[in-house]
Chain A
Amino acid sequence: MSMPENGRIITFGEAIREALAEELRRDERVFIIGEDVGEAGTPFKVLSGLIDEFGPERIIDSPISEPGITGMGVGAAMTGMRPVVDIMFGDFATLIMDQMVNQAAKTHYMSGGKLNVPLVLRTTMGAGRRSAAQHSQSLHAWLSHIPGLKVALPATPYDAKGLMKTAIRDENPVVIFEDKMMYQLKGPVPEVEYTIPFGVADIKRQGSDVTLVATSSMVHVALEAADELAEVEISAEVIDPRTTLPLDKVTLIESAKKTSRAIVIDEGYESYGVGAEIAAVIAEGAFYYLDAPVRRMGAMDVPIPFSPVLEDLTIPTPAGVVELARTLCGKN
């Protein structure tokens, strides 16, 4: 596990703000544009204070025009700037798909390698906030499907800071999905400068009986499940790919070969999702080592309901992971 044992403890939100502030200081081409990113610091207050240091020229409050600010980010990125476009809710990915999929992702290739789009798109994901069907989805699979984009899903404050800094320095369009329920999550983040390379999975917990591949907040679900599984003498390995595009296939396959069982836990809709892709990668790469079918756990294939009683049923839980892992290991 790459998370340091010692160091300052800060929140996930603070880690993101720190990464942005450091990059804004380091590179004058970096700017942030989005709805209420300035004085308001976003509804989640992740950007609070940035406008005081960097001013309204670089922390730009925009109209409610997601396609417009995303398209302008693409154009600014193509002409020498390093925009960070803030899209408040991941559900609004629906509004920006042309600019991300047809413009940002394809410009470098279509121009024969002449034009670059070093754009970062920050957005959120995750249910559980009682925000109902249009503010709770995890749509990272959509963007992970598109060649030319990179997609990162930090699960800890340490990863959030390192992945954000890497994203801003990348020459390609990068989408970062932050689970909005994790902004207050605390963890160690060193004060020294660091970045985290894309395409390198992090083994969050070593184990030998079953591999739990988990993304974003599901990493914490998997870790909690792993604690419970230890009590029934099942040793679970928890792997966080950290980026779904590029995907560190080698680490996933090697872990599955070692444990011979794998469950993929991802908060996107279960059908046609990131979980399906990762399960296929493991099935193709570790087939002859597996003792059980690779299993997926995702958001239930329903629009996210408002009623707490119903909403909670749609998200994978530690208890659900424990039950499935026990079944795969024959220890019910």
Chain B
Amino acid sequence: MDSSTTESPKKKDLTLGDNEQWLHMYQQMCKIRAFEENANELYLSAKMPGLTHLYIGEEAIAVGVCEVLRQDDYITSTHRGHGHCLAKGAAVDRMFAELLGKEAGYCRGKGGSMHIADQERGNLGANAIVGGSAGIATGAAMSIKMRGTDQVAVCFFGEGALGQGLLYEVMNMAQLWKYPVIYVCENNLYNEYTHYSETTAGRLLDRPKAFGIHAVEVNGQDVREVYATMTQLVDRTRAGEGPAFLLGHTYRYRGHHVGDINREYYRSKEEEQHWMTERDPLKILSDWLIQEKLAEAQLFDQIQNEVYSEVEAAVKFALEAPYPDESEVDMHVYA
């Protein structure tokens, strides 16, 4: 793939970030939140078939990571994948159309919430098997190395995927053969309805480190930290130094899926409240920009208004969009 057509690398420094870029990241995080709130509404009002898994609270990781990537870099995503997809540049209208099973969706309605793929922006697809895409992302990195391009592949997964053996098989090979892949582990504390401390022995970062993989952790609620760290990781991986592992500490504000409403049996409302008020990624970024006098408070209201209008228009588009024709049912089984 021709890398000359892609954007130039972003700046590294946490505090020397381009103001316009911080605002763009705010807008992207805001878009993900607005998307997810509307997805939840579509579920609650019985307009969306099936269930969906909301990314609210974790926005800074998807945005901080994808903001560093070029369009031709690859990502693989998870069942909680809307944030990754939007952060990689997908359009909200076609995403809602996919959530509603409409022909205008990214996968013609055949994938749904858990399988959105957007190959034009390097998104190789969300995956409903926990850890299931670790092989795909590592294989994409293998392909990059074989084709001799300077792309990178990013594998998003939650801390629950640390229980899957596949991940360790491919991390071993990625390090052995210096593949350009970055494993991004979003530790939102819960493997579905179980706190990760009940399922995970030892320290999380010791696992990639056992293979000699360069591994770092960040406050996943601060997009500046995610972005700055990811910039360093992408630079070294693009330079041929092999894989890296980024552990982001974050929190899932909502349930495992939209139907997981009563959560007291596995976590307290106080805990949820603490993260939402004290560690909200949008608030952390806007507070900092205001404090540094890089932006006025009303600018964020303006961004929010614009984003929510765009998202509402996208919902309307998706609701009115036609379903696929019945003749589609056995189309695309084979290429």
Number of interface residues of A (CB under 8 A): 41
Minimum C-beta distance from B127 to chain A (A) = 8
Task: Please state if B129 and A98 are interface contacts (CB–CB under 8 Å).
Answer: yes
We find that the number of chain B residues with CB closer than 8 angstroms to chain A is: 45
Question: Does any Cβ of B come within 8 Å of A75's Cβ?
Answer: yes
Do A79 and B135 have beta carbons less than 8 Å apart? no
Q: Which of A16-24, A44-52, A109-117, A185-193 lies at the interface with chain B?
A: A109-117
Q: Contact between B138 and A110 (Cβ–Cβ < 8 Å)? A: no
CB distance from B329 to the nearest CB of A (A): 10
- Which positions 104-136 of chain B face chain A at CB distance < 8 Å? 105-111, 115, 117, 119, 124-125, 127-129, 132-136
The closest CB in chain A to the CB of B177 belongs to: A60
Q: Verify A112–B143 contact, CB threshold 8 A.
A: no
A67 touches B335 (CB 8 A): no
Contact B136 A71 (CB under 8 A): yes
Chain B proximity of A222: nearest CB distance (Å):
29
Contact B169 A65 (CB under 8 A): yes
Q: Is B170 in the interface zone, CB < 8 Å from A?
A: yes
Residues in A with CB closer than 8 Å to B74 are 79
Q: Which of A69, A103, A115, A148 contacts B333 (CB 8 A)?
A: A148
Bound complex: CA A100 to CA B117 (Å): 18
User: B261 interface residue, CB < 8 Å from A?
Assistant: no
The residue of chain A having its C-beta at the shortest distance from the C-beta of B137 within the complex is: A75
Given the known interface contacts A31-B146, A67-B166, A68-B173, the answer about A110 and B107 at a Cβ–Cβ threshold of 8 Å is yes
Q: Which residues from B are CB-within-8-Å of A241?
A: none
Q: A102-B129, A115-B124 are in contact. Are A71 and B110 (CB under 8 A)?
A: no
Question: Do the beta carbons of B169 and A68 come within 8 Å of each other?
Answer: yes
B129 touches A72 (CB 8 A): no
B178 vs chain A, min Cβ distance (A): 13
Q: CA A148 – CA B110 in complex, angstroms? A: 14
Nearest A-chain residue to B330, judged by Cβ: A147
Complex: how many Å from CA A37 to CA B34? 51
- Within the complex, which residue of A68, A80, A103 is in contact with B143, where a contact is CB–CB below 8 Å? A80
Asked if A260 is at the interface (CB within 8 A of a chain B CB), the reply is: no
Q: Assuming A68-B170, A108-B334, is B105 touching A74 (CB within 8 A)?
A: no
- CB neighbours (8 Å) of A67 from chain B are 135, 165-166, 169
CB under 8 Å from chain B, chain A span 274-297: none
- Please determine whether A111 and B119 come into contact, CB atoms closer than 8 angstroms: yes
How many angstroms from the CA of A75 to the CA of B133 in the assembled complex?
A: 8
* Residues 79-121 of chain A, each 1 if its beta carbon lies under 8 Å from chain B, else 0: 1110100000000000000110011000111111111101000
| Minimum C-beta distance from A94 to chain B (A) | 13
Using Cβ atoms and an 8 Å threshold, which residues of chain B touch A182? none
- Judge whether A109 and B110 touch: CB under 8 Å: yes
CB neighbours (8 Å) of B203 from chain A are: none
A171 beta carbon closer than 8 Å to chain B: yes
CB-based contact B333/A108 at 8 Å: yes
- Say yes or no: is B140 at the interface (Cβ < 8 Å to chain A): yes
Beyond the given pairs A68-B173, A111-B110, 16 more chain A to chain B contacts, judged by CB atoms under 8 angstroms and listed by A's residue number, are: A57-B146, A72-B135, A72-B136, A72-B138, A72-B139, A75-B76, A75-B124, A75-B143, A75-B153, A76-B140, A79-B124, A79-B140, A81-B147, A99-B132, A102-B128, A114-B119
6 A–B contacts, CB within 8 A, in A order? A31-B146, A75-B135, A103-B129, A108-B334, A110-B117, A111-B117
B residues near A (Cβ < 8 Å) are 74, 76, 105-111, 115, 117, 119, 124-125, 127-129, 132-144, 146-147, 153, 165-166, 169-170, 172-173, 176, 331-335
